[in-house]
Chain A
């Protein structure tokens, strides 16, 4: 097991009678990207503020890169943070902004200057270092914020909704940077976001919060596994192959095939009375059907078990928690 670099132990934050964060525990190792998920108001930002020493916990403790929660200055030295909806001094230039923060970590002017050039290039802003932040687009600001979070070469990076309000290209760019931060710098990244498909791509671990409590945490696979409905799937084939695919699947008495309304190229396959028709498991019955389709030479555009996405798991678990 790699080094644990982030660990929250029974972390709790009360605002009066309201529990914004309630007994939250999780951990992350070096180089890991941890997705911190949850609906609005779940306590993601509060958790990040606790772990970044901006707020003091009501109870519980945590450690960051081997420093206990009481050693706030040591923790601050080795973390990088992009706060939620962080503001930028619009009259400063991007370069000036980065140099200032680099110097706050004890770098000399000379070191700060070369570091700012390097970081601007790292986030694709090398052309913009001398421009005022006021003319930066939202995506550029977010990338500048990430560059700022890297000035001290942190061992743990906290990013609170870094992709908020970015277009798809901007989101992809930011996720690309995040992946590189974790891989090339071997930093742990704690990423709070609402972009579930992206979390599925970049995160090795997810923690789903709801009303201040951890609903579930574990690897993406484990979390999805909890919500998986094995006896139902969707199959997409080219439109002119739909009839043949349906016939290929009809050979299996255990499967019901339905056209998904409004989507003529999409079939919903269900295993009837799972486990009863044959000794095979629903997944095996499903695979047999899929094999028959491919054996008939029909190109499969998409085949997916229902609930096989993080967003399905997320919705299922957060709605169950409310119910």
Chain B
């Protein structure tokens, strides 16, 4: 068999220099999205999520005796659920981002391309965020069914989208940072699931418990819990959107700190192996 690896007609040194194509982060983001959505991982998650939402919506909407407040509460429930699942998924996908490539032996081939480490990491964050956007999108019809009569659909959507995106950026970045710091994918996923348990624990406390200042501090220190508390305050308690803005401080700080750590320290973290010896 003779093979002809003749000089190519396209992809020559000149083409590569000219760079007619799209920027690196966009190419990475597109490919990561394809991987996420065509490999079935994303779709399975969305499917399970919509089955659960259907059950919740069916139970609440068939209950004719629901009063006005209970309807608002079910909108709140579905929205919180969507935010929680979307953010969780973003974190876990982020946690696979670097360590997964290390483990599968595909990181080195990415590192020898001229694409900046920062673009690789930004592309991966964007792809992870699409999971949140998809969960949010799936929850819209359910929110419509539950919320159309009480006239809170618009505010609920805007609120959920804003708070959820803030949380997803923060936690997706944390996931990627964890991933960059772990050599094995198992460690990375385990660490991020542990983080999830911590973040979701306070929101699971029965509301009847005495809620002293300690609980308040715990709640406000936790970006997910305080983000969800803000949603409840508006949707259920009917507060004005400016009244409880302080609840958004932690989600905002998380997004800013984790996001900039990722952008600024990311290039040092995206390496073949983790640690100081890695070169």
User: In the bound complex, what is the Cα–Cα distance between A85 and B106 (angstroms)?
Assistant: 10
A3–B106 CA distance with the chains assembled, in angstroms: 32
Whether a CB of chain B sits under 8 angstroms from the CB of A181 is yes
Binds B, one of A111-119, A258-266, A287-295: A111-119
Whether B11 lies near A106 (C-beta < 8 A) is no
- A contact residues around B114 at 8 Å (CB): 73, 76-77, 104-106
> When each residue 1-31 of chain B gets 1 if its CB lies under 8 Å from chain A and 0 otherwise, what string results?
1111111111111011111111010011001
Q: A118-B10, A153-B7, A184-B7 known; A54 and B35 CB under 8 Å?
A: no
Is the CB of B242 closer than 8 A to any CB of chain A? no
Note all chain A residues with C-beta closer than 8 A to B9.
114, 118
Query: Is B111 within 8 A of A54, CB to CB?
Result: yes
* Residue pair A106, B109 in contact (C-beta under 8 Å): no
Contacts of A180 in B (CB 8 A): 3-6
Task: Give B269 Cβ to nearest chain A Cβ, in Å.
Answer: 14
Task: Please give, as numbers and ranges, the residues of chain A lying within 8 Å of B272 by CB-CB distance.
Answer: 49, 54-55
Interface size class of A (residues with CB under 8 A): 35 or more
Say which one of A144-152, A194-202, A218-226 lies at the interface with B.
A144-152
CB-CB < 8 A to A153: which residues of B? 7-8, 11-13, 16
B105 at the interface (CB under 8 A from A): yes
A91 adjacent to chain B (CB < 8 Å): yes
Q: How far is the CB of B160 from chain A (nearest CB, A)?
A: 32
Min Cβ gap B10→A in Å is 5
Contact indicator B21/A16 (Cβ below 8 Å): no
Q: Total number of A-B contacts with CB less than 8 angstroms? A: 152
Chain B residue numbers with a CB within 8 Å of A87 are: 104-106
Q: Per-position contact with A for B247-278: 1 when CB-CB < 8 Å, else 0?
A: 00000000000000000000000001000011
For the complex, is B244 an interface residue (Cβ under 8 Å from A)? Answer: no
The answer to whether B19 touches A106 (Cβ under 8 A) is yes
Known: A54-B279, A176-B3. A101 touches B109 (CB 8 A): yes
**Residue B108 at the chain A interface, CB threshold 8 Å:** yes
Q: Cα distance A249–B39 when bound, in Å?
A: 71
CB distance from A57 to the nearest CB of B (A): 8
A108 touches B38 (CB 8 A): no
What 1/0 flags go to A63-82 for Cβ under 8 Å of B? 00000000001001111010
Interface residue from A79, A102, A111 paired with B112 (Cβ < 8 Å): A79
Point out the residue from B8, B13, B20, B34 that lies within 8 Å of A115, measured CB to CB.
Answer: B8
CB pair B112–A100 under 8 Å, yes or no, is no
CA distance A78 to B16 in the complex (A): 9
> A101-B109, A104-B27, A118-B8 known; A112 and B3 CB under 8 Å?
no
Measured CB to CB, the nearest residue on chain B to A113 is B10
Give the interface centre of A118, A155, A173 by most chain B CB atoms within 10 Å: A118
A77 to B16, CA, bound (A): 8
Whether A53 is near chain B, meaning CB under 8 Å from some CB there, is yes
Inter-subunit contact B113/A101 (CB<8 Å): yes
- Does residue A12 face the partner (Cβ distance < 8 Å to B)? no
Interface 0/1 of A141-177, CB less than 8 Å to B: 0000100101111010000000000000000010011
Can you report 7 residue pairs joining A to B where beta carbons are below 8 Å apart? A77-B16, A78-B13, A88-B106, A103-B21, A107-B11, A111-B21, A118-B10
Please name 17 further chain A to chain B contacts, defined as beta carbons within 8 Å, in addition to the given A104-B113, A107-B11, sorted by A numbering.
Answer: A16-B277, A55-B272, A56-B279, A76-B113, A77-B17, A78-B13, A86-B109, A100-B27, A101-B109, A104-B110, A111-B21, A118-B9, A150-B5, A150-B8, A155-B13, A176-B1, A185-B5
